[in-house]
Homo-oligomer: A and B are copies of this chain.
Amino acid sequence: MPDRIRATVWGENVHERKNAIVAQVYPDGMHDCIADGLREDAALEVRAATLQEAEHGLTKSVLAETDVLLWWGHAAHGEVADTVVERVLGRVWEGMGFIALHSAHYSKIFKRLMGTSCSLTWREAGERERLWVCNPGHRIARGIEPSFEIENTEMYGEPFAIPPPDEIVFLSWFEGGEVFRSGCTWKRGNGKIFYFRPGHETYPIYFHPVVRQVLRNAVHWAAPDGRPWIDSCPNIPIDQAHEKLVAKGPKLHKEGEKGFR
């Protein structure tokens, strides 16, 4: 483990350049604002990457040097190259943390990690949201009051088509009458995953001090704490079995042959 946790904030950086409202709220891009929020914590070493860069800024070496990847996308999920998706998945399985933000519920990577459709209900009315802490002792809730409010937000409502979370850290109440599992954790391979709902791009949600605190906490929580799990599908030769074995019966594979994939 490095001394500082290395976080990479990925942003698709589309609405910020095409939509006047979003450009006004996030003049330097949402990824930049999210990264700034993380930089308030000296224990984090933060960089950003965007869709428009070569390999979306997520080269092998960038990912190798990333402990936790945060993902913001909405309008351009389909433009993310499948090779990059596979590369990120591989790193999560090794142990890299992954934090999916708001509309990233529909990103290719999050859907691949969940194995479900990740659908939900939604409404864009600028209504009030109140997030409740379900476990005040959780690392991700450190320093957070029992509840906090976001004055204007897009609503996401149940049913949220996710597998049962390992833990639910936040539940949301909406002014319009809905509820949502807004802060959920899972593990895939050795990678810790956190989904955090707040973040619609027409509101200054990533400037909200409590939202920023949650994200800093989540980076600490999601950082790998073991060695990387280098995943393969090895054949164990018969003479390397721990118990003495004599081969019996017919075989499909010749000795030493690789398996099918």
Which residues in A have some Cβ–Cβ distance to B below 8 Å?
15, 19, 21-22, 74-75, 77-78, 90, 93-95, 103, 106, 112-117, 119-127, 130, 132-143, 146-147, 149, 152, 154-155, 157-161, 163-168, 171-181, 186-190, 200-203, 220-221, 224-238, 241-243, 245-253, 259-261
Contacts and interface: CB of A to CB of B under 8 A. Distances in A.
Contacts of A161: 93, 189, 229, 231
A130 B186 CA distance: 27
A227 B147 CA distance: 16
A179 B242 contact: no
Contact of A229 (B22, B136, B247): B136
A132 B174 CA distance: 12
Given A190-B137, A227-B136, A261 B116 contact: no
Contacts of A259: 106, 122
Given A121-B234, A122-B259, A173-B178, 19 more contacts: A21-B252, A74-B260, A106-B261, A114-B115, A122-B234, A125-B238, A125-B248, A126-B248, A134-B158, A137-B224, A140-B226, A163-B187, A164-B164, A171-B180, A177-B241, A177-B242, A178-B236, A178-B241, A203-B249
B132 A158 contact: yes
B125 A247 contact: yes
Residue among A75, A225, A237 with most chain B CB within 10 A = A225
Contacts of A165: 164
Contacts of A225: 139, 220-221
Contact of A171 (B158, B203, B227): B158
Contacts of A139: 225-226
Given A122-B236, A136-B227, A177-B243, A167 B187 contact: yes
